[in-house]
Amino acid sequence: MNQNEVTLIRERFREKMNSDQLQNCMRCGYCLPHCPTFIISGGKETSSPRGRIALMRAVANGELEPDAEFEKIINECLGCLACESVCPSGVKYMELLEDARDIICQTRQYSAPVKLARKVIFKGLFKKQKNMDLFIGALNIYQKSGLRFIARNTGIMKLFPSSLVATEKVLPEVGSYKAIKNRPVRLPAEGEKLAKVGFFKGCLMDTMFITENNKTLKLLQKAGCEIEIPGGQACCAAIHGHSGEKDDAKDMAKLNIVAFENMDVDYIITNAGGCGAYLMEYDILFQHDPQWHDRAKKFVSKIKDISKILVELKFHERFKLKLPNQVMTYQDSCHLRNVMKTFNEPRELLKSIEGVTYVEQKNAHTCCGSAGTYSILHADVSMQILDAKMKNVLDTKATTIVTANPGCLLQMRVGIEREGLAKEMNKNGIKHMLSPIFLISSPHLLVRVCNLTILFV
Amino acid sequence: MLSKDIQEKFIAIVGKDNFECSNMERAAYSFDSSPLQPVLPAAVVAPRNTAEVSEIVKLCNKHLIPIVSRGSGTNLAGGTRPTEDAIVLIFRNMNSVVELDEENLTITVQPGVITSDIHTIVEAKGLFYPPDPSSMKMSMIGGNIVENAGGLRGLKYGVTGDYVMGLEVVLPNGEIIKTGGKLAKDVAGYNLTQLMVGSEGTLGVVTEAILKLIPKPETKKTMIALFPDLNSAAQTVSDIIANKIIPVTLEFLDKATLKVVEDYAKVGLPTDCEALLLIEQDGPASIVERDINKIAEICKAANAMDIKIAANDQEADKLATARRSALSALARLAPTTLLEDATVPRSEIANMVRAINEVAAKYNVQICTFGHAGDGNLHPTCPTDIRNKEEYHRAESAFAELFEVAVKLGGTITGEHGVGIMKQSFLHLKVGHAGIEAMKAIKLALDPNNIMNPGKIFDVTKTEVSV
Ligand SMILES: Cc1cc2nc3c(=O)[nH]c(=O)nc-3n(C[C@H](O)[C@H](O)[C@H](O)COP(=O)(O)OP(=O)(O)OC[C@H]3O[C@@H](n4cnc5c(N)ncnc54)[C@H](O)[C@@H]3O)c2cc1C
Ligand code: SF4
Ligand code: SF4
């Protein structure tokens, strides 16, 4: 960090950081035992929410000079918001974190390769759905063409960080570009219509996880929802907001608000905790923009996770859900839990399935270490957190882990790979019984159950 | 800043992973939970064992480097805030349970063990460690001991000091001493164990502690009683005790506190009453039943609007947890939370509550009150903004007057949070100038170079004058 950047960051902290929020932290430490990075660090205050807030405050007050270590400390936060959800004082940590990251990123003159990578990811891929579609299409070709086989077996992947390699292995088999494009914009309810909902597609969800998205839609229809899938939707922009690209985030948020604005729907349904939570914070994103703030508020008030609407519509009581006998456990998506406050519903759904023995894992509510791009940028910490998590998972003896966000899903698969379980399972030829992780919010699981129900009723 | 040479010496003792002096590390240990302005220490040192602590202390004593020991930094009186020339001593590497002795009913712990972890460990064996400060999920036992922390169960079971049987302490000259032990009786000389209890880190570093355990009570029952005015709630507290019932917990929350706690915890606390008492009794089922019924009668006689008994342990825990969040939840109301813990004899609780309201009106500040009413220990809390000088000053004046009232009622300026920095100018009200001089004599005898948390409780470099 050069002197110019230091001065600018300092000035911008003073101007832009919400000093009431910084002051609001009374440093009670309630959040400490809930913070995964604090725990992994063995109790270092620089890895704690209280410490991070104190440093932000000191920089904003001009008492502390920001430096490379400051940047690292801010970036090492998972953004899981376990701290915010337990803070009795109601400190808006996410807002502080995003503002801090935005200031740092927008001020830093990153080296050329870092700049390029950021540009490709934030402006090229996630900001333009078409590019994302093409990228996913290419991934499909990569997976299908045998290129993957070559990549995996020539050792070329060794050149990449281990977490990335692991992630590459666990990516789902993606759909083709064509399949992504062919979908109606309106779907009727099956049976009696109980609600009218809009569906937020999500960029990764509608490409890499298109199967899940399609099944979510089926499930909603079965539950009695008429669905509108408006065009013009963009990525939720969580990845931009969390990584210090706030202006881009606002651009995309506007597109989403507009897409659903004139639509007469009761709810806007999401099926990925990370996206849903970010959509829910659009009002904070526009809090200083009177023109957009009210529109954002209206949008936010309609956001609901699929598991919640299924429970509200008593889907699990009206249909008999059944699966082959198995033990299941659930891994909370931090953002679904801490921001959308949805954690009972997924559990309730799972427990209602005949044949499923639900076992709660210890600390199911703590972050798995995926945290968006975190698992790639901070591989070491991420893997330490994951290993601790896998221990708890294995203790449950579950053969199926259920989670509610694509990032968590990939991360848990990495966990299974790391534990060497995947191979084991393949060898035993019971791959699909032992290892699959389902998204509860887009459950092939529940859809399969549904199908079974239809078969047996 | 420490010279390179001294830095090397610290590193030689604790290793380079356990010595930090970057700006960020120093800033992260520059504060405690009091509203005082942070001060960056010179370095942060994390010893791995008692021998290392001893070497660090010797080095500091030789070079006159102040030492501020730090648990989790939840001190509310500024006692953990360092000075620029000080090193902060942290115990993240000294956080083990050394021994759980089921024959002598003791647990031996290092200072970095988190208070509530002790509860979990001993309760799994059917044992009980009663002290439970509201900060127990984050505070460390070392911090509890030298602050003599109280808690929600203090009324029946006493405070931390009542459970400290023995200590290992590194004195300011670096000598390691062991005080007390697993002994029911011990009169071999001065009671140094209890001298260290409540010493706020000014007399030495606690490196190990033997704590007393008792059998875990068989059952417990929790209830809440709602009152239409503060007076009847406060009167009920005195009535219960006058009726020769000692509940485990007898906590008081006023309306403003209830509201923020419910906002946060969402446990269904009523917010349409002026005051609430949270009452808990434990012991054999029949006695608990009898006491709870009797307490309910007393509450009703004292004008309680409603009484609810928790259906089960989970519900009871939720209520207690909600109560523990009160202080931090009050921080929702304003950027700065100024709180006190003046304590009066139990019989004076109603008078104290009245005085708090009068003082609040007089200085035109909002004061929310909650606290361990059964102990006579209230926490009048003022939501304010330290950046608003005029208002903050009024709040400080209001509290100054409250200290005087408390002492006049036969009470003290601090029941459990300690004197630290914030309450120094009021210490004479309670112990007198001669009392302070006596304390200074002890301090200087043990710590002639004034390296142990200097400037806390009192300033030894200044003479007390009676005015
Ligand atoms: C939300 C909240 C609720 C609270 N509730 C209560 C309550 O109900 N009852 C109560 O009594 N207090 C309460 N407190 C105050 C505080 O939690 C206690 O004083 C607690 O004992 C401090 O523990 P700590 O580990 O944070 O110590 P710190 O704040 O880190 O240190 C406290 C003091 O001990 C010294 N010290 C720490 N470790 C050692 C050691 N090993 N050797 C020598 N000196 C040492 C420090 O120098 C300092 O002077 C509360 C605080 C907060 C923020
Ligand atoms: S963020 Fe909240 S819980 Fe954490 S120290 Fe600050 S006030 Fe306490
Ligand atoms: S968001 Fe998660 S990782 Fe970051 S400070 Fe809060 S609890 Fe810790």
Question: What is B97-215's CATH number, 3.20.20.210, 3.30.465.10, 3.40.50.2300, 3.30.70.260?
Answer: 3.30.465.10
Mean pLDDT across chain A: 80
- What 3-state DSSP class applies to A312? helix
If we measure between CA atoms, which residue out of A223, A227, A135 comes closest to residue A185?
A227
CATH number for region A181-310: 3.40.50
Compute the average pLDDT of residues A34-52: 95
Compute the average pLDDT of residues A442-446: 33
Predicted confidence band of residue A167 (pLDDT cuts 50, 70, 90): low
Predicted confidence band of residue B359 (pLDDT cuts 50, 70, 90): very high
Assess whether pLDDT exceeds 80 at residue B329.
yes
**Greatest extent of chain A over all pairs of C-alpha atoms, in Å:** 71
Beta carbons within 8 Å of B455's beta carbon, 6+ residues apart = B83, B421
Q: What global pTM score does this model have?
A: 0.87
Question: Between the CA of residue B341 and those of A6, B217, B370, B393, B446, what are the distances in Å?
Answer: 42, 29, 10, 19, 29
Question: Between the CA of residue A213 and those of A19, A260, A371, A409, B234, what are the distances in Å?
Answer: 41, 18, 21, 14, 59
- Partner-chain contact B32 A27, CB within 8 Å: yes
If we measure between CA atoms, which residue out of B193, B215, B185 comes closest to residue B102?
B215
Q: Measured between alpha carbons, how far is B50 from B42 in angstroms, rounded to an integer?
A: 22
- Tens of pLDDT, residue by residue over A221-254, are 989 999 999 988 888 988 888 888 888 899 999 9
If we measure between CA atoms, which residue out of A98, A24, A423 comes closest to residue A249?
A98
Q: Measured between alpha carbons, how far is B195 from B154 in angstroms, rounded to an integer?
A: 20
Q: Looking at residue A158, what is its pLDDT?
A: 46
Please state which of the ranges A75-84, A139-148, A195-204, A414-423 shows the lowest mean pLDDT: A139-148
Q: Which amino acid is at A137?
A: G
- Tens of pLDDT, residue by residue over B91-104, are 999 999 999 999 99
Q: Looking at residue A168, what is its pLDDT?
A: 58
Compute the average pLDDT of residues A191-195: 93
Select from A51, A64, A88 the Cβ nearest to the Cβ of B23: A64
Q: Looking at residue A441, what is its pLDDT?
A: 34
Q: Looking at residue A201, what is its pLDDT?
A: 87
Select from A27, A45, A89 the Cβ nearest to the Cβ of B332: A89
- Tens of pLDDT, residue by residue over B64-110, are 999 999 999 999 999 999 999 999 999 999 999 999 999 999 999 99
Domain boundaries, chain A: 3-107, 112-177, 181-310, 320-455
Q: Looking at residue A445, what is its pLDDT?
A: 33
Select from A20, A26, A44 the Cβ nearest to the Cβ of B33: A26
Distance from CA of B111 to the nearest CA of A (A): 14
Q: Looking at residue A420, what is its pLDDT?
A: 65
* Contact present, A346 and A440 (Cβ < 8 Å): yes
% of chain B residues with pLDDT over 90 = 90
Assess whether pLDDT exceeds 50 at residue A117.
yes
Higher pLDDT, A45 or A390: A45
Q: Looking at residue A326, what is its pLDDT?
A: 79
In terms of CA atoms, which chain B residue is nearest residue A66? B24
Q: Measured between alpha carbons, how far is B424 from A167 in angstroms, rounded to an integer?
A: 58
Select from A20, A29, A32 the Cβ nearest to the Cβ of B335: A20
Q: How many CB pairs under 8 A join A and B?
A: 99
Predicted confidence band of residue A447 (pLDDT cuts 50, 70, 90): very low
Q: Measured between alpha carbons, how far is A117 from A127 in angstroms, rounded to an integer?
A: 14
- What 3-state DSSP class applies to A126? coil
Compute the average pLDDT of residues B254-280: 92
Mark out chain B residues that contact chain A at CB-CB < 8 A: 22-25, 27-33, 35, 38, 40, 72-74, 92-93, 95, 112, 114, 135, 137-139, 263-265, 325, 327-329, 331-332, 335-337, 385-387
- In short, whether B132's Cβ falls inside 6 Å of ligand 1 is no
- Partner-chain contact B138 A32, CB within 8 Å: yes
Mark out chain A residues that contact chain B at CB-CB < 8 A: 20, 23-24, 26-30, 32-33, 42-46, 48, 51, 54-55, 58, 63-65, 67, 69-70, 73, 87-90
Question: Between the CA of residue B94 and those of B71, B91, B251, what are the distances in Å?
Answer: 11, 5, 34
Radius of gyration, CA atoms only, chain B: 22
Q: Looking at residue A180, what is its pLDDT?
A: 61
% of chain A residues with pLDDT over 90 = 40
Q: Measured between alpha carbons, how far is A233 from A226 in angstroms, rounded to an integer?
A: 19
- Partner-chain contact A63 B38, CB within 8 Å: yes
Q: CA angle at residue B6 from B5 to B10, to 5 degrees?
A: 120
Look up the CATH architecture of domain B4-90: 2-Layer Sandwich (3.30)
Q: Looking at residue A316, what is its pLDDT?
A: 87
- In short, whether A32's Cβ falls inside 6 Å of ligand 2 is no
Please state which of the ranges A379-388, B120-129, B170-179 shows the lowest mean pLDDT: A379-388
Radius of gyration, CA atoms only, chain A: 22
Q: Measured between alpha carbons, how far is B396 from B426 in angstroms, rounded to an integer?
A: 12
Look up the CATH architecture of domain A320-455: Up-down Bundle (1.20)
Please state which of the ranges A167-176, A429-438, B34-43 shows the lowest mean pLDDT: A429-438
Q: Measured between alpha carbons, how far is A203 from A129 in angstroms, rounded to an integer?
A: 7
Rounded to the nearest angstrom, the distance between the alpha carbon of A83 and the centre of ligand 2 is: 7
Compute the average pLDDT of residues A132-142: 59
Assess whether pLDDT exceeds 50 at residue A206.
yes
Compute the average pLDDT of residues B392-403: 94
Mean pLDDT across chain B: 95
Nearest ligand, CA of residue A26?
A: 2
ipTM for this model? 0.94
Distance from CA of A155 to the nearest CA of B (A): 35
Beta carbons within 8 Å of A395's beta carbon, 6+ residues apart = A361, A362
Nearest ligand, CA of residue A38?
A: 3
Assess whether pLDDT exceeds 50 at residue B197.
yes
Chain A neighbors of B382, CB-CB under 8 A: none
Which residues sit with their C-beta closer than 6 Å to ligand 3? A 34-37, 49, 52, 77-83, 93
- Tens of pLDDT, residue by residue over B405-451, are 999 999 999 999 999 999 999 999 999 999 999 999 999 999 999 99
Nearest atom within ligand 1 for CA of residue A28: 53
Q: B219-323 and B329-408: same fold?
A: yes
CATH number for region A3-107: 1.10.1060.10
Residue A389: CA count within 13 A, CB half-sphere: 27
- Partner-chain contact B27 A42, CB within 8 Å: no
Please state which of the ranges A110-124, A219-233, A291-305, B364-378 shows the lowest mean pLDDT: A110-124
Q: Looking at residue B247, what is its pLDDT?
A: 96
- Tens of pLDDT, residue by residue over A396-436, are 888 778 888 878 877 887 777 777 665 444 333 323 322 22
- Partner-chain contact B331 A58, CB within 8 Å: no
- Partner-chain contact B73 A73, CB within 8 Å: no
Q: Looking at residue A432, what is its pLDDT?
A: 31
Q: Where are the alpha helices (DSSP H) in A344-402?
A: 344-351, 374-377, 379-395
Compute the average pLDDT of residues B179-202: 96
Compute the average pLDDT of residues B148-173: 97
Question: What is B219-323's CATH number, 3.40.50.720, 3.40.50.10150, 3.30.70.2190, 3.40.50.1370?
Answer: 3.30.70.2190
Q: Looking at residue A169, what is its pLDDT?
A: 59
Select from B29, B33, B332 the Cβ nearest to the Cβ of A90: B332
Compute the average pLDDT of residues B144-149: 98
- In short, whether A50's Cβ falls inside 6 Å of ligand 2 is yes
- Tens of pLDDT, residue by residue over B156-167, are 999 999 999 999
Q: Measured between alpha carbons, how far is B89 from B172 in angstroms, rounded to an integer?
A: 13
In terms of CA atoms, which chain B residue is nearest residue A88? B329
Torsion of CA B231, B232, B234, B235, to 10 degrees: 110
CATH number for region B329-408: 3.30.70.2740
